[in-house]
Structure 1
Amino acid sequence: MNIRIYHNPACGTSRNTLAMIRNAGIEPEIVDYIKNPISREELKSLIEKAGLRVRDAVRAKGDLYAELGLDNPALSDDELLDAMAANPKLINRPFVVTPDAVRLCRPSEVVLDILPAPQKGPFTKEDGEVVIDAQGKRVTSKGK
């Protein structure tokens, strides 16, 4: 099954997403985009296929976002893409590509909507939140 995750191993959301893919019995292609940056063109394509605006794909957490002045609403999509391509930590993550869809999996449970296979067992996120119960049913948290 061709599934690709643009993964940052330092990110809990990315690790949880990868674990849910594996919990479906799928071993995805893992692209560590921090060590192996993706091209600006590929990034633009992922954002478009996910149905996002470029600004929605910029990671606003961290000092770099503020240092580069990326909160400036006057910045164009091209300027934002250039910043993300030059500084991969600015890419919101993880993006997951399946044969049918591309999604920015924030929160990580978004991946469940695009996986072509069901979860094979219970799943609990790193923070202790139960996502899939012992019966294989998706658990929804109150307020989400």
Structure 2
Amino acid sequence: MTIKAYLYDKCGTCRKAKQWLQHKEIPFETIPIVDAPPSQEELRQMWKNSGLELKKFFNTSGQFYKELNLKERLPGMSEEEMLKLLASNGKLIKRPLLTDGKKVTVGFNEEQWDATWAQP
């Protein structure tokens, strides 16, 4: 399966990640995370496959995260509420978000990406 790369054009980290993928000649499909965020069900599957805490999917440095006071609110929210909120606004999702249907990475960490995506 092709890697789905949820990216935001105005994000420097996303541009760096895209260049990394191109440099490594890894085929991927770019999906604009703001215009076409993953659905609640897609996010649930990515979260389960990632092995990460759900809160790691939030873009904690983003404007909406701060406006919605999510630092205070997230601890009291259910997983369903968090998934619904993430699916409602792509800017709330930490990016870049990559998945091939099985593996998932959130954010750009070159060592992690080498281990996860650059394997033949």
Q: TM-score per shorter chain, which class?
A: 0.7 to 0.9
> 1:6 Cα deviation (Å)?
1.2
Task: Give secondary structure in 2 for the equivalent of 1:96.
Answer: strand
2:10 counterpart residue number? 10
Distance in 1 between residues matched to 2:48 and 2:54, nearest whole Å? 8
Q: Where do 5+ consecutive residues of structure 2 fail to align? A: none
Q: Which has the higher helix share?
A: 2
Contact 1:7 1:33 in 2 (8 A): yes
Task: Give secondary structure in 2 for the equivalent of 1:52.
Answer: coil
2:66 counterpart residue number? 66
For 2:28, give the aligned amino acid.
P
- Do residues 106 (structure 1) and 111 (structure 2) align? no
Q: Where do 5+ consecutive residues of structure 1 fail to align? A: 119-144
Contact 2:49 2:102 in 1 (8 A): no
1:73-93 Cα offsets, whole Å, 9 max, x none, are 212222221211111100001
Contact 1:44 1:81 in 2 (8 A): yes
2:55 counterpart residue number? 55
Between Structure 1 and Structure 2, whose CA radius of gyration is higher? 1
For 1:3, give the aligned amino acid.
I
> Cα 1:100–1:91, aligned 2, differ >3 Å: closer, same or farther?
closer
2:78 counterpart residue number? 76
- Percentage identity across aligned positions? 30
Distance in 2 between residues matched to 1:2 and 1:112, nearest whole Å? 17
Task: Give secondary structure in 2 for the equivalent of 1:114.
Answer: helix
1:93 counterpart residue number? 95
For 2:80, give the aligned amino acid.
D
**Stretch of structure 1 that moved more, 58-67 or 106-115:** 106-115
Query: Which structure ranks higher in relative contact order (CA pairs < 8 Å, sequence separation ≥ 6)?
Result: 2
| Matched positions, count | 118
Cα RMSD (Å): 2.1
Distance in 2 between residues matched to 1:14 and 1:63, nearest whole Å? 17
Task: Give secondary structure in 2 for the equivalent of 1:82.
Answer: helix
The two structures have a TM-score, normalised by structure 2, of 0.83
